[in-house]
């Protein structure tokens, strides 16, 4: 069969139109969208910071000794980055793609599939940034962040958000049905939530587990957030930055290719 090679088309700035569509919808429900990142850190800080902190005492690590509450505060932002971006490009993008046929409608306009998918990924990362900004405000009210370095949480949220948005989009391109997302959530998101240096230092784990943790993207996002939030020296974050950049460089093209295979017949 004489099949033309399907050329991958590089997205242009038109992808912002797709981003704008999601932004328009988001603005209409901003009150509901704003609540989780505002309330979630309060719940966690109350439960862990006040309830649990009295039992565990301060956290002693190479970077010094800090209260348990200060230890988990940046990790809460990291978890939010992961969840906002990942859930946006999995469940939310899947609904738009599969049930609402939004991508199909866009494909009849000058937009290309690559622009649509890139716009969605960028939107997922944007939600991570918005959530982080809100959490930054709340957690700062508890006096747990170091300024001005805590402002670096925003670029960290962008990078981390892109990483998880790309990962989510790869799953969206391959799952047969929306229920299948339970699998990556259970096998990928939940273990990371617990074992990425979020609620206890990685040093507490056996060596092999520390090694596995280093392979998980959330570990590196936590690393970045902790450095920004607590004002640790920045050069130490180079490996985390490199890891997340590489992750995006691999998963972004993968998401585009997988989506083209799914949608273009």
User: What residues make contact with other proteins under the rule CB under 8 A?
Assistant: 1-4, 6, 14, 17, 20-21, 24-25, 100-102, 104-112, 264-265
- CA dist., res. 40 & res. 37, Å (int): 6
By C-beta, is 105 or 183 nearer to other proteins?
105
- As measured in angstroms, the least distance from the Cβ of 16 to other proteins is 9
Euclidean distance between CA atoms 167 and 89, whole angstroms: 8
Q: Of the candidates 241, 226, 233, which has an alpha carbon nearest to the alpha carbon of residue 73?
A: 226
Q: Which is nearer to other proteins, 27 or 233 (CB)?
A: 27
Cis ω on the peptide bond leading into residue 6 (within 30° of 0)? no
Rounded distance, CA 190 to CA 202, Å?
A: 16
> What minimum distance in Å lies between the beta carbon of 21 and other proteins?
6
CA pair distance 234, 246, nearest whole angstrom: 19
51: DSSP letter: I
- Comparing CB distances to other proteins, the nearer of 1 and 31 is 1
CB of 207 to other proteins, least distance (A): 49
Please say which residue, 109 or 182, places its beta carbon nearer to other proteins: 109
Least distance to other proteins, CB of residue 35, Å: 19
Note the helical H segments in the chain.
15-28, 30-44, 53-56, 68-87, 93-94, 102-107, 113-141, 153-174, 182-184, 190-195, 207-215, 217-230, 238-263
Cα 167 versus chain centre, distance? 9
Closest residue by Cα to residue 76 from 115, 46, 113: 46
CB of 37 to other proteins, least distance (A): 21
The nearer residue to other proteins, 12 or 182, going by C-beta atoms, is 12
Nearer to other proteins, 117 or 251 (CB): 117
Shortest Å distance, C-beta 22 to other proteins = 9
Residue 90 or 132: the one with the smaller Cβ distance to other proteins is: 90
Comparing C-alpha atoms, which of 97, 253, 54, 69 is closest to residue 170? 253
């Amino acid at each position: 069969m004489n099949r033309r090679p399907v050329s991958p088309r590089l997205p242009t700035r038109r992808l912002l139109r797709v981003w704008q569509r999601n932004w328009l919808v988001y603005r209409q429900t901003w009150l509901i969208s704003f609540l989780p990142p505002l309330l979630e850190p309060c719940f966690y800080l109350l439960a862990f910071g006040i309830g649990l902190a009295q039992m565990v005492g301060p956290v002693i690590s190479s970077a010094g000794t800090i209260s348990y509450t200060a230890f988990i505060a940046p990790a809460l932002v990291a978890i939010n980055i992961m969840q906002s971006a990942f859930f946006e490009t999995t469940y939310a993008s899947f609904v738009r793609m599969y049930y609402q046929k939004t991508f199909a409608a866009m494909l009849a306009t000058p937009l290309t599939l690559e622009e649509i998918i890139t716009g969605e990924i960028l939107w997922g990362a944007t939600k991570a940034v918005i959530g982080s900004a809100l959490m930054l405000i709340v957690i700062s009210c508890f006096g747990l962040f170091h300024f001005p370095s805590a402002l670096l949480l925003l670029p960290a949220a962008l990078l981390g958000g892109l990483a998880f948005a790309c990962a989510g989009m790869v799953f969206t391109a391959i799952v047969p049905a929306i229920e299948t997302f339970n699998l990556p959530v259970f096998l990928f998101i939940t273990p990371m939530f617990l074992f990425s240096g979020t609620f206890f230092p990685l040093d507490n784990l056996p060596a092999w587990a520390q090694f596995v943790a280093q392979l998980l993207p959330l570990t590196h996002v936590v690393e970045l957030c902790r450095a920004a939030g607590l004002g640790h020296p920045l050069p130490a974050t180079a490996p985390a930055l490199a890891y997340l950049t590489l992750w995006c460089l691999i998963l972004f093209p993968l998401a585009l290719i997988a989506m083209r295979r799914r949608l273009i017949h």
